[in-house]
Amino acid sequence: MTAVLCRHFGLSDIQLAEDIASDTFLKASEVWPVTGIPANPQAWLYTVAKNKVKDYFKHKAVFELKVKDNILKELNEKTLPDDIDQRTISDSQLAMLFAICDPIIPIAGQISLALQILCGFSILEVAQALLTNKETIKKRIFRAKTALRDSKFELKELSDSQISARLAAVLKTIYLLFNEGYYAQHENHIIRKELCMEAIRLALLLTAHETTNLPQTNALIALMCYQSSRLDARMDKDGAIVLFEQQDVQQWDSDMIDQGNFYMVQATDTQETSKYHIEAAIAYWHTVVDNQSKWEYILKFYNQLILIEYSPVTALNRAFAYAKMYGTEAGIEETKKLNLIKMSHYFGLLGYLYRDLDQAEAIDNYTKALNLASSLTEQDVYQKQILALQ
C-alpha cells in the first residue's frame, strides 16, 4: 500500500505514506468487526487510503493559497486504478524497491529501509536479518529516510545503468525476505510461507526485464525454489518443526524442484558465479536422495561460500557438512572452533553431534540451545530432543 500510494499520488514523503497505510488498517480494525469484512477487502482498503491522501492535502496550509482550487481539482482527477490487481501492486513495489536502493544511501541503509517498508519487517526482524542490533537499525532507517526526503524523493523511471547499479541491493533484500520466511525469527513462527512466496514472486518479476534478467537473478530464484520444495515437509500437522533427516521426502514438491532446475540452467549460461549460484548448488544437492557422496560437493560449496561471504549460519552449516563427510568427532571439533556461544543453533548442532557419543553432553548442549532459542517453535524442537535422550 505504501508503494502504491507513493507511485499514484506522487508522495515524496515515505513516512506520510506509511502513516496513511497504518491509519487505513486501523480504520479497518474498527469498522470490520461491526459491519463485517467487505466483499472486496483490498478495494475497500485502497479506497479508504485514497480518501485519506485527499484529506491530508486538503488540510495542508498551502491549500489555503490561491492555487488551492486548481491543485484540488488535479488531485481529484488523479485516482487509483479501478481494479487494484497484483500487477498494479507488483509494479509499484518494484518501482519503490529500486527507488529506495538509491546510491545516496549506504547499502546497509537501503536494505534496512526496504525490509521495513516493502517487506513489513519490524525493527527487531530487520536487526536479526542483518545480524545487528535494534538501535543500529533505527539509526540506519532514520538516516535513509532523511536522505531520501532531502533528495526530493520520487518514484520515477530509471535508466538501465541506474537499474543495474541498484540490482545487487534489490536481490539482497529479496534474499533476506525469503530467509525470514524460511528461518523465521518471529516469536511464534519458525516458517512463514507467505514471505517465501512473496520473495519468489518479486524475483520472478525481475526476469521479465532484460536489464534484470541476469544469471544472479535466476540463481536466486533457483535457490528459493529448491528451498521452498521442502517447506511442507518441515512442519508436522501440529506445527512442530521436522528436522531435515526426519522429513518425508514424499512431501517434497517435485514441481518446485523442477522449477529450480530450470532457473539453475538459466543461471549458468555465462561464467558469472555469485553467492546465489553457490547457495543454489548447495540447496540442489539437498534435494538429492540416497546419495552419500553429495556431502563432498556440499562441503566444497560451503568452503567457497565462506570465502565469498562469511556468516555464523554459513559456518555452522559447513560444520554440519564437515561432520557428514569426516565423521561425528571431527564435526564436533570443527564446530567448537567457531565458539558461537550466543547462538542457539551452535549448541543445537553440538547437541545433535553428541547424541550417539555422550548423551549427558548432548542434553547439556540442547539445554543451552533451549535457553537461547528465540521462538516457541524452536524451543519445542530442543525440548523434544532433550526428552528423547532422557
What are the phi and psi torsion angles at 212 (to 5°)? Answer: -110, -5
Name the one residue in this structure whose C-alpha cell is 491549500.
63
Give the C-alpha separation, 223 to 261, whole Å: 9
Residue 185: all three cell numbers together: 525469527
If you average pLDDT over residues 265-285, what whole number do you get? 91
Which one is predicted more confidently, 319 or 210? 319
If you average pLDDT over residues 358-364, what whole number do you get? 96
Tell me: pLDDT of 85 over 80.
Answer: no
What are the phi and psi torsion angles at 241 (to 5°)? Answer: -75, 140
Give the C-alpha separation, 217 to 313, whole Å: 22
If you average pLDDT over residues 362-387, what whole number do you get? 91
> What pLDDT shows up at residue 377?
77
C-beta separation of 75 from 84 below 8 A: no
> What pLDDT shows up at residue 257?
96
Tell me: pLDDT of 189 over 60.
Answer: no
Which one is predicted more confidently, 289 or 335? 335
Give the C-alpha separation, 87 to 132, whole Å: 34
Provide the sign of the torsion angle of the four alpha carbons 261, 265, 266, 271, taken in this order. positive
Which one is predicted more confidently, 325 or 76? 325
Chain mean pLDDT for the chain: 85
If you average pLDDT over residues 163-187, what whole number do you get? 83
Give the C-alpha separation, 290 to 293, whole Å: 9
Percent of the chain with pLDDT over 90: 46
CA–CA distances in Å: residue 319 to residues 310, 340, 349 = 13, 12, 9
In which band, very low, low, confident or very high, does the pLDDT at 66 lie, cut at 50, 70 and 90?
Answer: very low
- CATH fold of the domain at 310-390: 1.25.40
If you average pLDDT over residues 296-306, what whole number do you get? 96
> What pLDDT shows up at residue 31?
92
In which band, very low, low, confident or very high, does the pLDDT at 285 lie, cut at 50, 70 and 90?
Answer: very high
> What pLDDT shows up at residue 278?
96
Q: How far is CA 78 from the centre of its chain?
A: 33
In which band, very low, low, confident or very high, does the pLDDT at 76 lie, cut at 50, 70 and 90?
Answer: low
> What pLDDT shows up at residue 334?
97
Percent of the chain with pLDDT over 70: 88
Tell me: pLDDT of 188 over 70.
Answer: no
Provide the sign of the torsion angle of the four alpha carbons 114, 115, 121, 126, taken in this order. negative
Tell me: pLDDT of 340 over 90.
Answer: yes
Tell me: pLDDT of 238 over 80.
Answer: no
Residue 380: all three cell numbers together: 519445542
**pTM as predicted:** 0.79
